[in-house]
Each structure stands twice: as C-alpha cells, then as structure tokens.
Chain A
C-alpha cells in the first residue's frame, strides 16, 4: 500500500480574474503504516489537496497513484478509489441521513455491491472500531446521539468501506475535551487494528505532535516542509511566519530554554516536557547536577 502524488496542481476559477492556484506543484509519497499529519493555515490548500486523494477533485496537472493504480486517470472508476481511500470531511455528522445508525453506516458498503450479511458484518466491525456498542446504537436514529457519538457514527460509515488510506479533516473540531480525546483514541485504535495509511489534517499542533510520525506543511498551495514532527516543530519562527505554531509543550520548552533551562532532546508533548522537567528539577537530591550542564545558547 502506498500513495504517490506527482506534481499536483489545482486551479480554482481557471481563466477568471480571481483564478487561484490552491495546490501548486505538490509531490510526496506515503508508505504503508505511516501516520501523516497535514498542517497549514486556513486557505493554504490542505482540504483541496486531500480531496484529490480520493478523486473528488481532479488536478489541473500532475498524477496520483494509490499502489499502482493511477486514480487521476480518466478511466478509473470512482468505486475503485473509494474502496481504497476513505475521506472523513469536517463536521461529518451533518451528512448523517438514514433512519438508523446501522443503515447509515451500511450505506457505503452496500454501494460496493456486497451481500447483506457482509454489509452488516462490516458495519458491526466499524462500530466496534469507533467504540459504538452495536446492541445499544444500531437501531437508534443517528439524530438521537450526542455530538461526539454522531461524529463517531459518521466516521464508522467511512471505516466500513475498509479503506487502505483513511483521511480525516479536522475530526475533533467543535468537540468537548472528552469527546476530543475519545476521537483521537478511536483513530489510534483504528490505525493499530486496521493498518494502512492514516492522514490527519488539523489545526491542533498538540494533536499532530501526539499522533503522527510525519508532518506535511502547506502554505500558499505549496508543500513547504515534509519531515518528522521533531524536525518540523523545531522551527517555531518559520511556523509562526506562516500562521501556525508549535505544540504547547514545545512552546513552553522554548521559553524555558531562552531562560537557561534547555533540554538536549526534542520536547513536543506533555509527556516529554514532564520527563524533562522532572529529571532536571525533581526529587530532593535531584536537580541540575544530575545531568551534564547545558551549553547555554
């Protein structure tokens, strides 16, 4: 399983006075097992880019391969793409429409032409993966669920297609902290159990640092950085310059470093920061002497 995007360009309003290059010559590859984050300010081209990955948008130029299938080719069937690449839009719960949760989740698999038994089996599996108890929720109206549950039901509808690539666009926007955490845990467990490639688009730098192992940075339609979270978040000035930032733990670590309390390792998460500070400042006998002194900057 792999994704290969070659020189993708997408132009909105082509030929009009306000034509804009929403995606501008973007190339990247992703391999099986990768968890990729995409960050960029509003309007940087993230959503346009990911809509190419499951064929909703066709590029002006450039190509995309999912394994060896060129999905940008004119004669590829949509269902072929949808089976492989699942896209969860922002606020996906607005697209719930069926009378029961089960029927809503079954909608996609049914369109693949599977048998009724297999459709139900897939729906059950998807509900288990997103943490919605089948007995309790299958026959409920989706509109009776809480905000977080609705969103999980909507995501289950995509997971039931068993895609090799799962793309989520801001999956936690507007959720309370508990539902937010539940969705992140759900994504982790789907990744663990179903494998494949997961792509998370988010404005939450903390989530990106906690979840992903590679980050793509978009700005003005271009892919401006591509690297491990530690690499990407090492450059706070650059990220700020393009309307982004670093995770709260990294920001705080930078402030402390400027005040003479610097870590020699990358600090991205609450866990990293706690470990670093506990090592340096914790315990009765502990403290700065336990480690080699920092070279001041």
Chain B
C-alpha cells in the first residue's frame, strides 16, 4: 500500500514536521495566551513554519514561554489540530489525511496538565479500559491491557479505587495508564507535573523515564528546566518558531540566549556557572545533581590532600 510504503522510509523519524503553519482565526480563538497577537491580525500563526524530526524511541523536551506555540504544535502531532500550511507525518501517516486519523491517534497518546480533566470513570480500571473499549478491543485483551498498563505505572493494586480518592501524582499515573492501554508508540506529555506536589512530580518523571527506557517515543512539554536534562534533545519554541534545538548540554551552554527566551538554566547548570565565577573549577556540561556533586566531592578530596 502507498501509505505503508511511506512509513519508516526516512531514517526512522517517527515524527516528521515540515514547514508547519498553524493559524488561529479570530473566531476560533481558543488561543490561550497567544491571543495577544490575534488583536492586530485577523489570524495569527501560533506555529509558524516549524520543521522538526523526532527519532523513534527518543526523548524530546519542548520548552518555551507561555504562548510560544508548544501546545499547539503538540496538538498538530496527534491530529487534534490540522496544519494551515506545511505537513506533519506520524509514523509515515500524513495528519491531513482524514482516513489516517485513527491510525495516528492510536499511535500518539497525550497526557495533559490537569489529571482531573482526563479521568472519566468512577473506578480506576474502567478509566484505563475506556480507550481500548472504544477501539473495540476484545474483553480478555482489555483485561490484559489494564493489568500491563496499571502495573507499568505502579497502580495495579489501586485498580478498584475511585480516581477522586487518589493523590495528584496517582491520578496522573492513571491517566498515563489509560494512554498506555492504547499501546501507543509516542506519548506527548503537556506539562504533566505543573499541578503536582513534589512527590507527585517525582513519580511522574520516574514513569516518563521508564517509558523512554522501554523505547516509547517521549515528547515532554514543560516549564521545569530540571525535567529536560535527561532528554536526548531539547527544542525551544518562541513566537511560534523553533528558536533553538540541540542536546541539553548544547542548549544550556548558551545561557544568555536561554534567558532572552524567557527561560532559565536548570539548577545544577546555574550553580555551576556561579561557582565558576567564584573561582571554583567546574567544567561546563555537568547537568545532573549526581554529576555535579561527584565533581565537587572530588575537588574537596583534592583540597584536603
């Protein structure tokens, strides 16, 4: 088939976005913070000629100030929104191809900021079953998917509980299980930890890293710079465009540009920079707490000898 012929053709870029434009019109202004620009234009481009490739199995972080187009871009990836210009391919399927919508949505799961808006059932396992049931998956298979998905997020023992009795982090994990039950190849997380307490944040980030280890393609939209340091690649959006792109080490070495884009350095990188200014020999490119503390402890050892 023609469609299959296209799939996986290009170097295994599971998401391929080419010159994508998405314009919000005045009337369909659910444009959130972006609406400031709608004031002057009849329409404005929330996403403005963006080209990105995401490799199968990779972990990509998307950051940028409020209203920079991150969420709009994400919704173009699973065909919740369709491009005004350019094209988006997911696993080789063109999102503009109406016949491919379900192929795409099965492959791309989304997890949003507020877990309360994503859970629809009165019992945890029913919630997880909701997606596969709609796909017409057989009951035994659904039971198996519930078991696997809830186990993957460490929530299987809570399967009979009512979602409203769970903590924020647990609710978010159930939402992730609901997505996993669809057996997606890609999961897009749109600020999944914004509303969570410290434990909930840690739980969800843990699950995200685990899913990446299991070769699911992860796209994480976040305002927490710390969450991006273990990703393979960071894309920074600004005014609908890609402002910067690279590995975390490359991106966070450019601190002035980061700040001019309304962002900041992760804690460890900021601390490293300040220590260098104060004469402590700290190399650039240390991104995690573990790496920096190991270096500092080694320095301390030398100073004592």
Q: Which of A42, A174, A288 contacts B113 (CB 8 A)?
A: A174
Report Cα–Cα, A41/B278, bound state, in Å. 37
A145 within 8 A of B: yes
Report Cα–Cα, A272/B167, bound state, in Å. 33
Among B63-71, B140-148, B150-158, B240-248, the stretch that binds chain A is B63-71
Q: Which of B168, B202, B270 contacts A42 (CB 8 A)?
A: B168
Report Cα–Cα, A144/B39, bound state, in Å. 7
| Given known A-B contacts A177-B263, A270-B270, A280-B300, A244 and B223 have beta carbons under 8 A apart | no
B289 within 8 A of A: yes
| Given known A-B contacts A176-B263, A260-B300, A261-B300, A203 and B33 have beta carbons under 8 A apart | no
Report Cα–Cα, A256/B299, bound state, in Å. 11
Interface centre among A146, A249, A270, A278 (most CB of B within 10 A): A146
B279 in contact with A283 (CB, 8 Å):
yes
B200 in contact with A179 (CB, 8 Å):
no
A255 within 8 A of B: yes
A residues 235-288 touching B (CB-CB < 8 Å): 240, 243-245, 248-249, 251-252, 255-256, 259-261, 270, 273-274, 277-278, 280-284, 286-288
Q: Which of A205, A278, A283, A288 contacts B300 (CB 8 A)?
A: A288
A205 in contact with B198 (CB, 8 Å):
yes
A178 in contact with B264 (CB, 8 Å):
yes
User: Whose C-beta in chain B lies nearest to the C-beta of A280?
Assistant: B300
A143 within 8 A of B: yes
Report Cα–Cα, A205/B197, bound state, in Å. 10
Report Cα–Cα, A260/B302, bound state, in Å. 12
Report Cα–Cα, A41/B198, bound state, in Å. 8
State how many angstroms separate the Cβ of B42 from the closest Cβ of chain A. 15
Interface centre among A205, A251, A284, A287 (most CB of B within 10 A): A287
- B247-269 CB mask vs A (1 if < 8 Å, else 0) is 00000000000010011100110
Among B48-56, B73-81, B83-91, B290-298, the stretch that binds chain A is B290-298
B275 in contact with A278 (CB, 8 Å):
yes
Report Cα–Cα, A240/B197, bound state, in Å. 11
Residues of A within 8 A of B267 (CB): 206, 248-249, 252, 270
User: Whose C-beta in chain A lies nearest to the C-beta of B168?
Assistant: A42
Q: Which of A150, A256, A284 contacts B297 (CB 8 A)?
A: A256
Residues of B within 8 A of A284 (CB): 279
B198 in contact with A245 (CB, 8 Å):
yes
- B179-209 CB mask vs A (1 if < 8 Å, else 0) is 0000000000001001111111110000000
Residues of A within 8 A of B32 (CB): 147
Report Cα–Cα, A41/B271, bound state, in Å. 27
Interface centre among A176, A206, A281 (most CB of B within 10 A): A176
B65 in contact with A176 (CB, 8 Å):
yes
B278 in contact with A278 (CB, 8 Å):
yes
A181 within 8 A of B: yes
Secondary structure class of chain B's binding surface, majority of residues: helix
B118 within 8 A of A: no
Residues of A within 8 A of B65 (CB): 176, 178-179
A residues 200-253 touching B (CB-CB < 8 Å): 203, 205-206, 240, 243-245, 248-249, 251-252
Q: Which of B201, B268, B279, B304 contacts A286 (CB 8 A)?
A: B279
User: Whose C-beta in chain B lies nearest to the C-beta of A174?
Assistant: B194
A residues 44-80 touching B (CB-CB < 8 Å): none
Interface centre among A148, A260, A274 (most CB of B within 10 A): A274
A270 in contact with B225 (CB, 8 Å):
no
B33 in contact with A147 (CB, 8 Å):
yes
State how many angstroms separate the Cβ of A95 from the closest Cβ of chain B. 16
A175 in contact with B66 (CB, 8 Å):
yes
B200 in contact with A261 (CB, 8 Å):
no
Report Cα–Cα, A146/B262, bound state, in Å. 13
State how many angstroms separate the Cβ of B299 from the closest Cβ of chain A. 5
Residues of A within 8 A of B169 (CB): 42
B223 in contact with A277 (CB, 8 Å):
no
State how many angstroms separate the Cβ of B108 from the closest Cβ of chain A. 23
A173 within 8 A of B: yes
Q: Which of B197, B263, B268, B303 contacts A41 (CB 8 A)?
A: B197
Q: Which of A143, A148, A260, A277 contacts B280 (CB 8 A)?
A: A277
- A147-179 CB mask vs B (1 if < 8 Å, else 0) is 110100000000000000000001001111111
Residues of A within 8 A of B299 (CB): 281
State how many angstroms separate the Cβ of B129 from the closest Cβ of chain A. 24
Residues of A within 8 A of B284 (CB): none
B66 in contact with A147 (CB, 8 Å):
yes
Q: A179-B262, A259-B293 are known contacts; what are 5 more A-B pairs with Cβ within 8 Å?
A: A146-B36, A178-B65, A252-B271, A256-B297, A278-B279
Binding site for B on A (CB under 8 A): 40-43, 143-148, 150, 170, 173-181, 203, 205-206, 240, 243-245, 248-249, 251-252, 255-256, 259-261, 270, 273-274, 277-278, 280-284, 286-289
What are 13 inter-chain pairs, A to B, with CB distance below 8 A? A41-B199, A42-B168, A144-B39, A145-B36, A146-B66, A177-B263, A177-B264, A180-B223, A244-B199, A261-B296, A281-B275, A282-B275, A289-B303
The 4 A-B pairs at the shortest CB distance, nearest first, are namely A147-B66, A278-B278, A287-B303, A178-B262
